[in-house]
Structure 1
Amino acid sequence: MKETILEEERVLPVLAVRGLVVFPGMIVQFDIGRKKSVLAAKAALDTDSRELFIVTQTDLSESEPMAEDLYKIGVIARIKQVVHTADNGIKLHVEGIERAEIMSVVQSEPYLTGSVCVCKPIAARHTARTEALSRIAQERFEEYIRWFRQVPPDILLGVMQQKDCGDLADFIAANISLDFEQKQCILDELHPEKRIAKLNDILSDEIKVLSLEREISQKAQEQMDENQRVYMLREQMRAIASELGEEDNPQEESDEFRQRIEKLNLPQV
């Protein structure tokens, strides 16, 4: 497989986003409200291509990100639709076109523009290894959604239809609820075969966590159910004792004796 190459640099408006990673081929909508972000989007709309460079911030708390606050790899995206919101913000509908790397920030005011190079990978050769990695990814994706949630049929169909292992990794990563740092790890990997291998590792870890979460949740629910059952039984015993006119309630006596014994702090036998 040949190494990924970079094309000639282009200067584009830069849209820095927080907690969102956009992949090539992905159509996504999101709100922007920061002044620089709105101006960058408007600058892109003033061009024939309607393209801008979308890149994720490394620090979510940074309100005025500069070059050092951005990941290097992002995506050149085309604005499909713009909806103005009541608070002077904008809802963008964009389509990721291709991976690109930001080489330098050309200007920071009144909005960010950057010199970016398109990453042009050679499609992975279809081999027994890439076929195996793709099948593993599809199987783990199916197991992941069984643990996590129902996924729309079109996404399931899309996973089954992807032939290129690199595109498959992008498609799965774009359509599951991963941390943005994990998604960025997939976006950063330019080798299709290495990309699908990284995704498989991430899916395996996520499945383990989801399995453990469900186990903990089930145990907690069982304990709650047991506590509720005991409470109901005690209430029934008190009600029966009251109906029988018994002044002494065996359950209350038992609770009182247990509390007295606990206060004695007797050594374990």
Structure 2
Amino acid sequence: MTKTLFRIRNGVLARVAVVAAGLLLSASALAAAGGDLQQAGTDLSDRGSLQRGARLYMNYCAGCHSLEHLRYSRLATDLGLTEEQVMENLNFTGAAFGDHIINAMPQDAAADWFGKAPPDLSLISRVRGTDWLYTYLKSFYLDDSAALGWNNKLYPNVSMPNVLWSLQGLQHAEYGAPDATTGERPVVGLTVAQPGSMEPAAFDQAVRDITAFLEYAGEPVALKREGIGVWVILFLAVFTFLAWLLNKEYWRDVK
């Protein structure tokens, strides 16, 4: 018995150690990727935010990135849009209403232009998380040494330009002291040197809307699941009360 408990205890401790190591590695990776993440503050119940995010995504992101697991028709239903609104304002590839959202960029050409074909973003929010996406979209800065002239504080050496620069403005990096080993100067902050068409608060909201839309695209059923969840809880509460009354009535005459 003692040996069995000892094995179980060791097994639990081993699992705890693995989890702790994973957390430490995650924290180290986050620090290496550019520091703390900003809170996205997305709200999937805010349909207006999702609609604005869809518009911004289609205008600034869909030229390179597909959402191959989402259909235009599903998008219309979930976001409360008509077929006419979707086809006129969100569909720029000539796809049918029932088609998946695929960009028109040739994959081979994209690989030549950017070094690799831009990835599909259907599941990016589930892989990276909404806070990561929100921070990433706000962390671009001008870098003359980069191939495309842009770099990213959160994701250094990214092979993607800042597609939102006209809204955000042009950011410059603030560098810290050189690393004693590599001699490289880490990016410690970002400053908007040339304002864009949006005020900072408005741009933050725009990025939040895009992030919310990508969160929705990663799991469209979440909109209905959360709505149904309230009714399920109410049903279980009523059912539990009725079961308690039935149990009380059944045992009332039993001595």
TM-score by length of structure 1 reads 0.25
More helix by share: 2
Q: Based on CA coordinates, which of the two structures has the bigger radius of gyration?
A: 1
More strand by share: 1
TM-score by length of structure 2 reads 0.26
